[in-house]
A = this chain, B = another copy of it.
């Protein structure tokens, strides 16, 4: 059961492999030839041919400038944005986070826990020259960042234990938790404080302030954060200015989701 057996009775392999083609093309830097795809999928060229043929005819992939090489087509874009537009929280948060960015002058983000990753749903870049590498659609491992700890506050302790068991711990900075116990400590810390300030916890030189967003049941469903390079942050202002502002923004979003508290 751990291993997803591919020869399930109800499994349609054509679909499975076609979607993998799309993901492989999405992950590839350069356009790929049919043989490249076949190799990457460990599939016969003839089968890859049929998948490419179908995807191309549908507009999900297109041939690149160089003949017989393929890249993603524009039709996949619609799928991604259809997903985004279906997340009500993104629509709610967008204007609120835009205003927060304007008031604070640093980048603002909304993220959710998706699988074991932090998934960024909304991103507003700071006006300054610095451009954060976090953009809508970005994924990062949840255990390794302050924002992840904030989001992990939304799951139960047994779930968190299971989560921890699944991780392959990798040290990003000296602050990265490397086992279940230290992760749990971090998460509880954030949960009780109601916010978290990261000074280079994930990347040296990059800092952020994060606050959870709650839904009508009161559980954490998302996380608002400010982030930027240390040079763009005024650390003295965190408590007096950044934190109240971001808490206000998070509360606005929570209220829109039906959160009764304050």
Contacts and interface: CB of A to CB of B under 8 A. Distances in A.
Contacts of A115: 59, 74
A26 B16 CA distance: 19
A244 to B, nearest CB: 20
Contacts of A131: 94-95, 98
Given A51-B15, A71-B86, A127-B102, A23 B139 contact: no
A53 interface: yes
Interface string A31-54: 000000000000000000111011
Contacts of A193: none
Contact of A79 (B13, B26, B49, B98): B26
A12 B57 CA distance: 11
A58 interface: yes
Contacts of A16: 54, 58
B13 A74 contact: no
A11 B51 CA distance: 8
A98 B124 CA distance: 10
Given A74-B119, A86-B72, A137 B81 contact: yes
A58 B20 CA distance: 10
A66 interface: no
B76 A10 contact: no
Contacts of A181: none
B125 A57 contact: no
A210 interface: no
Contacts of A81: 80, 135-138
Interface string A111-138: 0001100010000010101010001111
Interface string A55-84: 101111000000000011110111111111
A60 B19 contact: yes
B78 A137 contact: yes
11 contacts: A11-B54, A19-B60, A23-B82, A26-B82, A26-B86, A71-B86, A72-B79, A74-B83, A74-B115, A76-B83, A77-B84
Question: What are the 3 closest A-B residue pairs judged by CB atoms, nearest first?
Answer: A80-B80, A26-B82, A81-B137
Given A26-B79, A80-B80, A94-B125, 9 more contacts: A4-B57, A11-B50, A15-B19, A15-B51, A27-B82, A77-B80, A77-B83, A81-B138, A102-B127
